[in-house]
Copies of this chain bind each other. A is one copy, B any other.
């Protein structure tokens, strides 16, 4: 018998039929003798509908009121799932975030969880009742309802699992696990049985949008074993957990990529201290997020300073950079938005030299030119031309033996 927190997203709760399907899944775990706490999102589309209503009446209204309205989406689905479970003969009880109590800070629409009162939930579990908790919301210090921001239901699930010291937090989505890469790009992509929190963070932030980053950080911090599974297809899913010895066998866990980046190069900048700050300061002030940053030491007393931003921010970032370039006496600014970032991710590479060079060699073998390189302990990222994305992913997937039945380095 285990204590399991299960989180079902908006697609899983999208209709009465789907809610009944989720009900049967929950019931089957209860029948197996497990204690289950369920966390649910609003029906897919409902939060958007509510916010549209709110912004229709006042586009610049206070975020507290937006939260008052948006938080009703989950309040409906918790009630519906509790009713479905009752009908199925499973005792259940729904809780809004404030009812649990899930305490948050006062940052409406992007609140952070401060603490969770586990008492009611544990008492229910002991009494054979399945608590059904609204994701995405909690109670601010002044008693108002606050939402955690979009996708916050994953975080609610993990935070509750941490508070209850649950054996596992299961996140049910419409994919059946975490893959070595996007199966739409490489059909031979393979579902991973296990992946570490760190790897998952790199995979998520690099574009494999299976889980909310914050929930993975949270799970890693509180050491909550996290499992990603499909609501609609049975299977073991992917377990996201702490590193263990067995994992070190695999050099690379997966290949992530991001298509929405753009590259800016401030060329011929006088090579003196403070250059990076001079260029990136105004970019940050304009609320533009910078991803990769590369600076080469120049030969002629100048240097090329290159960084990537979200494609939507390119124009704004280019304007700012051009102004800064003039002030610095740089030669000019080059921009490119037909680029993508491809990353190898794996905790195994920490203890193995040569992963980067093996990667560059494979790409060279496919005649793919690398425009930018950035590395971390468990990741090597390259920027290449967008037209080579699929080729690069497939080449690397093969080179590192990630395919179905492929070699394990």
Q: Is the CB of B72 within 8 A of A84?
A: no
B residues less than 8 Å from A68 (CB atoms): 75, 78-79, 82, 94, 96
B residues less than 8 Å from A56 (CB atoms): 16
Per-residue contact bits, chain A 53-96, to B (CB 8 Å; 1 contact, 0 not)? 11011101110111011011001101110111011000001101
**Is A19 engaged at the interface, CB distance under 8 Å to the other chain?**
yes
Q: Is the CB of A79 within 8 A of B99?
A: no
**Is A98 engaged at the interface, CB distance under 8 Å to the other chain?**
yes
**A82–B76 Cα gap in the complex (Å)?**
22
**A262–B384 Cα gap in the complex (Å)?**
84
Q: Is the CB of B72 within 8 A of A86?
A: no
Q: How many residues does chain A have at the interface if contact means C-beta atoms less than 8 Å apart?
A: 37
**Is A144 engaged at the interface, CB distance under 8 Å to the other chain?**
yes
Residue in contact with A53 in the complex, picked from B75, B80, B86, CB distance below 8 Å = B80
Q: Is the CB of B72 within 8 A of A76?
A: yes
Q: Is the CB of B86 within 8 A of A62?
A: yes
Nearest residue, chain B, Cβ from A80: B57
Q: Which of A264-289 contact B (CB under 8 A)?
A: none
B residues less than 8 Å from A69 (CB atoms): 75-76, 79-80
How far in angstroms is the closest Cβ of chain B from A58?
4
Q: Is the interface of A mostly helix, strand, loop or mixed?
A: helix
B residues less than 8 Å from A87 (CB atoms): 57-58, 60-61
B residues less than 8 Å from A406 (CB atoms): none
**Is A50 engaged at the interface, CB distance under 8 Å to the other chain?**
yes
**A60–B65 Cα gap in the complex (Å)?**
34
Q: Is the CB of A75 within 8 A of B78?
A: no
B residues less than 8 Å from A65 (CB atoms): 79, 82-83, 86, 94
Q: Is the CB of A57 within 8 A of B83?
A: yes
Q: Is the CB of A16 within 8 A of B83?
A: no
**Is A20 engaged at the interface, CB distance under 8 Å to the other chain?**
yes
**A389–B56 Cα gap in the complex (Å)?**
48
**Is A183 engaged at the interface, CB distance under 8 Å to the other chain?**
no
Q: Is the CB of A57 within 8 A of B84?
A: yes
Give the interface of A toward B (CB within 8 A). Answer: 16, 19-20, 50, 53-54, 56-58, 60-62, 64-66, 68-69, 71-72, 75-76, 78-80, 82-84, 86-87, 93-94, 96, 98-99, 143-145
Could you write out 15 A-B pairs with CB less than 8 Å apart? A16-B53, A16-B57, A19-B57, A50-B76, A54-B83, A57-B80, A57-B83, A58-B84, A58-B86, A61-B83, A61-B87, A62-B83, A62-B86, A65-B94, A72-B75
Q: A65-B83, A65-B94, A99-B143 are in contact. List 6 more A-B contacts (CB 8 A).
A: A58-B83, A61-B82, A61-B86, A68-B82, A69-B80, A71-B75
Report, nearest first, the 5 A-B pairs whose CB atoms are least far apart. Answer: A69-B79, A72-B72, A61-B83, A58-B83, A68-B79
